[in-house]
Amino acid sequence: MSIENERNSQAQANPVFITAKTAICLMAAADISDASAIVRCLGLENHAPLQNMTDPDVVLGNALVVETKYRTMCSLIKNSGCHVCVDLPCGYTPKALHLSKAGMRFIGLDLPIVVQEIAPIIRSLTTSSDEISFHGIDATNYESIRTALQNVTGPLCITTEGMMMYFDAHEADTVVSNIRAMLEQHGGLWITPDPEFILQFFYSFRSIFGKDSLAKLAASKESAQQQANVASLSNPLIINPDDIIRSSKTAEDFINSHGMKVKKITLAEHIPNLSIYRQLTQKQIRNFKTAMNDCHYWIITLDEQRQPADNAEQQTTPFEMNYALENNMFKVSIGGRLDSLTAPQLLTAWEKIKTTSMPVGAEIDCAKLGYITSAGIRVFLILQKALGKNLALTNVNSSMEKLFIQKGFTVPPLR
């Protein structure tokens, strides 16, 4: 298979990377330093990811949210007291350039498809490449994270910005366990706007668009779904704007259950001056700054008084896959983890088999499958769409049976 076909498999298994390209185009629209240079290097001078936002106000509202997060997070990272920033996911933003200029070491962690693009671009735009590194990882796969950080010393400022909303409850539990493990090994803190990201969108749009804000938010959501409809929004860390008090407590309890504690800082008190203000009226700026009193970023640290619940990821064997075309059936056996790093391999195998002969069905032996993420489920759904009822998942263990049934798969009982 060609490199192009392999990247296509990665893109289908992990379509969320498309939203990261939208973010860098919005940063360029907000006149964030170096954003336009990255956009040019990506070949996105026409801002193609923004073209389905036909209402200029929707672009403006999104650019306001994105610039607020970018500049505020950069400020908090520099004031964290840590010399090393671990950005998860790093996306295509110029954060690496900004923080390395400030004397920090930057470690960008993201899907391989993102890292393969952004790493050479950032290297071409900086003279401080020794302080910047990128690694392709899966956030649910601690071994991939541990390997990326194996030569890192000193406390970490871990940042997750625009990531947690893409995980279901089980994946979020694993990711937070992994972040705790990073803090236990290296020390430091975790900064994230993710629990209240929906609130930040809602309050930002309402402050500048008033009675039209709900319609413009709906248009923004529709644009995002057209690009990559993969957000989960169903894990306990995401605050529900319709039930803020209860869901906030649920989110804090979730962090506490992992042996960590939360300090919330009011966004209005930490927003630097924004370039996007030049596109707003003075009244809109005042309304926005007032509205951000109701939004918080979370600073999370280890809690020495709490022991984490027994919710660590079960260790699995390394990924292995065997496949063949037998009697015009695509037969596969999978072992270990099927995640963002490995799921594209299954899709690549499927595409390779199809070039010989289109199978009439597929049988996937899950007896040795130890862990599966949304990326793995997504590839199974691609096969199901192609084969309909002629996709069979066999030897599914009890821990995964419920998940597969929820996703619409038929799971025969274990023999």
104 residue type, one letter: M
Output the CA torsion sign for 138, 142, 144, 149.
Answer: positive
Q: Could you tell me which residues come within 8 angstroms of residue 294 by beta carbon, excluding any fewer than 6 positions away?
A: 199, 203
DSSP code of 261?
Answer: E
Q: What is the pLDDT of residue 201?
A: 95
pTM as predicted: 0.92
Under the banding of pLDDT at 50, 70 and 90, the label for residue 227 is low
Q: How far is residue 360 from each of residues 329, 344, 374, measured CA to CA in Å?
A: 6, 21, 25
Q: How many angstroms separate the CA atoms of 60 and 65, rounded?
A: 9
- 384 touches 391 (CB < 8 A): yes
Place of tokens 């500049």: 71
Under the banding of pLDDT at 50, 70 and 90, the label for residue 312 is very low
Angle of helix 197-209 relative to helix 282-291, nearest 10 degrees, comes to 150
Among 20, 31, 21, 17, smallest CA distance to 64 is for 31
Q: How far is residue 368 from each of residues 85, 337, 338, measured CA to CA in Å?
A: 36, 9, 11
Other CB atoms within a 10 A radius of the CB of residue 155 amount to 15
- 26 touches 50 (CB < 8 A): yes
Q: How many angstroms separate the CA atoms of 12 and 280, rounded?
A: 38
Q: How many angstroms separate the CA atoms of 195 and 162, rounded?
A: 10
Q: How far is residue 382 from each of residues 105, 165, 275, 385, 387, measured CA to CA in Å?
A: 39, 22, 42, 5, 9
- 409 touches 384 (CB < 8 A): yes
Strands 105-110 and 132-136: parallel
Q: How far is residue 66 from each of residues 71, 195, 216, 258, 345, measured CA to CA in Å?
A: 9, 15, 16, 29, 33
Could you report the per-residue pLDDT of 16-45, keeping only the tens digit for each?
878 899 999 999 999 999 999 999 999 998
Output the CA torsion sign for 7, 10, 15, 19.
Answer: negative
Among 176, 140, 87, smallest CA distance to 343 is for 140
Could you report the per-residue pLDDT of 72-115, keeping only the tens digit for each?
999 999 999 999 999 999 999 999 999 999 999 999 999 999 99
The full 3-state SS of 192-260, as one line of letters, equals ECHHHHHHHHHHHHHHHHHHHHHHHHHHHHHHHHHHHCCCCCCCCCCCCCCCHHHHHHHHHHHHHHCCE
Q: What is the pLDDT of residue 413?
A: 65
Q: How many angstroms separate the CA atoms of 178 and 163, rounded?
A: 14
Per-residue DSSP letters for 18-39?
Answer: HHHHHHHHHHHHTT-TTHHHHH
Under the banding of pLDDT at 50, 70 and 90, the label for residue 319 is very high
348 residue type, one letter: T
Other CB atoms within a 10 A radius of the CB of residue 202 amount to 18
**Rounded mean pLDDT of 350-375?**
91
**Rounded mean pLDDT of 255-267?**
97
DSSP code of 411?
Answer: -
DSSP code of 64?
Answer: H
Checking 396-404 for CB contacts under 8 A at 24+ apart, the result is: 396/366, 396/369, 397/366, 397/367, 397/369, 400/366, 400/369, 400/372, 403/170, 403/372, 403/377, 404/380
Per-residue DSSP letters for 268-292?
Answer: GGT----GGGGGS-HHHHHHHHHHG
Q: What is the pLDDT of residue 229?
A: 56
Q: What is the pLDDT of residue 129?
A: 80
Could you report the per-residue pLDDT of 268-288, keeping only the tens digit for each?
999 999 999 999 999 999 999
Place of tokens 């759904």: 381
Q: Answer with the residue of higher pLDDT: 221 or 211.
A: 211
**Rounded mean pLDDT of 185-206?**
96
